[in-house]
Amino acid sequence: MLPHTPHQPTSRAQEPLRRRVYVAVCLLAAAALVVILLTDLRRGQMDASVAGGLALCLGVAGLLQFSRLPWLLVDYTVLVGASGIVVTQLLELLRLQESIPVRSYFPGAFLVIAAFSVLPVRAALTYTAVLLSVFAGLSVVTGSDVVLLGQLALTSLLIAHLSYFGRQVSAERARSDEQYRLSRTDVLTGLDNRRGMYERIQQAFSRSLNEEGAEFTVLLADIDHFKRVNDTFGHDVGDQVLRRVATVLQRQVGDQGSVSRWGGEEFLILLHTSDPPVVRAVAGQLWHAVRTAAVAGLPPVTTSVGVASSGEVTSVSDLLRIADRRLYEAKDAGRDRVQLGPARSRSAPVPAPPGPAPRPEQAERA
């Protein structure tokens, strides 16, 4: 089913670009109208519709440049303003009983394009039918060229067909994009789900094989004793804890990588680096941030984390297997800690940022 209106919401990221493009188009149209106006003046002519179009283009460009009017209002202003200019010109020709000049048919085609860009399909078809009826009636009364009228009608049909087909394609593409996004998004937390993150890791691993310095790291974090939270406080509170941890992890990782809900109470973090000091610091920050992120009515939430880097393995499956093994080594060692390497190779704890929370009891690295 086609959407009722062609207007689609513009994201905040797209908004500035769309305004700049719209302003640029208006200014280019204004420049073309200035050339036409100057040419007419040199010939001793003055077409009020050209001056009106110039004023409309400059006015819309100014509104877009210096205000934040809704797009719907801007589009309708262009359509209504252009319609008024063309109708005024046609009424003047009717009054003077002059035939429609060739140059007046192009604004008619422009109105059809504008109608199918702004209005719902049925309204645009009705608008086009009325517009063609006006041109046809005026052609009969003034004895204008019916060939030009036929060309305008054929052009309108082509525009209608392309618009309808284009909307179908856009709607189908939007549905496909949304289905793709949902299939890779965890509903509860809004993070990537296991499928989405696995694709990211595969892409990162392929890049690491082909590009020098493109190694990366994964951190598999599991909320300690999460079953107790569900059993004691209920699944609603458990969901609250999951959302809270997801928010904290995503905020801490930022543009250093990606965060996903790997399954249940597990989160997988992809870092775009394998530099040991950086990985060690980020792991400590993540551990500390989760531990200090209070959830009302609950004791501190802690995590056990297993870390593995792409340089240690030759496949994605091995990478995930090592991260999972180190996660369970962290749990076996008492939980609430980060395992950077094999348990048999012990070293100093992962440093945590200054704060009220204690340091992890133990952290390992290769």
**Does residue 357 or residue 162 have the better pLDDT?**
162
Q: Rounded distance, CA 296 to CA 313, Å?
A: 41
> Do the domain assignments include residue 201?
yes
Lowest mean pLDDT among 167-171, 285-289, 296-300: 167-171
115 shares a domain with 204: no
Q: Exposure of 328 by Cβ count < 10 A (0-12 exposed, 13-18 middle, 19+ buried)?
A: middle
pLDDT at 171: 77
End-to-end CA distance of the chain: 57
- When divided into structural domains, the chain yields a total of 2
DSSP assignment of 240-306, as one string? Answer: HHHHHHHHHHHHHHGGGEEEEEEETTEEEEEES---HHHHHHHHHHHHHHHHT---TTSPPP-EEEE
pLDDT at 359: 39
Stretch 185-211: mean pLDDT: 94
351 shares a domain with 223: yes
Q: Rounded distance, CA 38 to CA 329, Å?
A: 81
User: Tokens at residue 64, please?
Assistant: 């877009």
Residue 356 predicted with pLDDT over 70 = no
pLDDT at 343: 54
236 shares a domain with 88: no
Residues 6+ apart with CB under 8 A from 224: 301, 302, 303, 304, 331, 335, 336
Residue 4 predicted with pLDDT over 50 = no
173 shares a domain with 208: no
120 shares a domain with 42: yes
- Among residues 148, 183, 218, which one ends one of the domains? 183
pTM of the model: 0.57
> Do the domain assignments include residue 239?
yes
361 shares a domain with 241: yes
| CATH number assigned to the domain comprising residue 269 | 3.30.70.270
303 shares a domain with 198: yes
- What does each C-alpha distance from 223 to 206, 229, 256, 345 come to in angstroms? 30, 10, 22, 24
> Do the domain assignments include residue 76?
yes
Strand, coil or helix: what is 309?
strand
> Do the domain assignments include residue 125?
yes
**Does residue 344 or residue 114 have the better pLDDT?**
114
> Do the domain assignments include residue 325?
yes
263 shares a domain with 174: no
> Do the domain assignments include residue 7?
no
State the residue for tokens 């109608």. Answer: 115
217 shares a domain with 106: no
Q: Exposure of 45 by Cβ count < 10 A (0-12 exposed, 13-18 middle, 19+ buried)?
A: exposed
288 shares a domain with 228: yes
Which residue range is the domain that position 354 belongs to? 194-365
* Each residue's pLDDT tens digit, 303-327: 999 999 999 999 999 999 999 999 9
> Do the domain assignments include residue 5?
no
State the residue for tokens 């945590």. Answer: 352
pLDDT at 11: 54
pLDDT at 56: 85
* Each residue's pLDDT tens digit, 138-192: 998 888 888 988 999 999 988 888 888 877 777 788 788 788 888 889 999 999 9
Angle, nearest 10°, between helix axes 121-142 and 146-183?
170
- Among residues 145, 160, 183, which one ends one of the domains? 183
pLDDT at 160: 86
CB atoms within 10 A of CB 311: 11
* Each residue's pLDDT tens digit, 19-45: 788 788 888 888 988 998 898 888 888
- Look over the chain and give the mean of its residue pLDDT values, rounded to a whole number: 85
Q: Rounded distance, CA 171 to CA 7, Å?
A: 12
Percent of the chain whose predicted confidence (pLDDT) is above 90? 45
210 shares a domain with 97: no
Q: Rounded distance, CA 74 to CA 117, Å?
A: 12
pLDDT at 169: 78
| Residues with catalytic function | 265
**Does residue 279 or residue 54 have the better pLDDT?**
279
> Do the domain assignments include residue 284?
yes
Residue 3 predicted with pLDDT over 60 = no
Lowest mean pLDDT among 164-168, 179-183, 294-298, 347-351: 347-351
Stretch 49-74: mean pLDDT: 82
- Among residues 137, 153, 183, which one ends one of the domains? 183
177 shares a domain with 36: yes
Residue 353 predicted with pLDDT over 70 = no
Q: Rounded distance, CA 124 to CA 264, Å?
A: 50
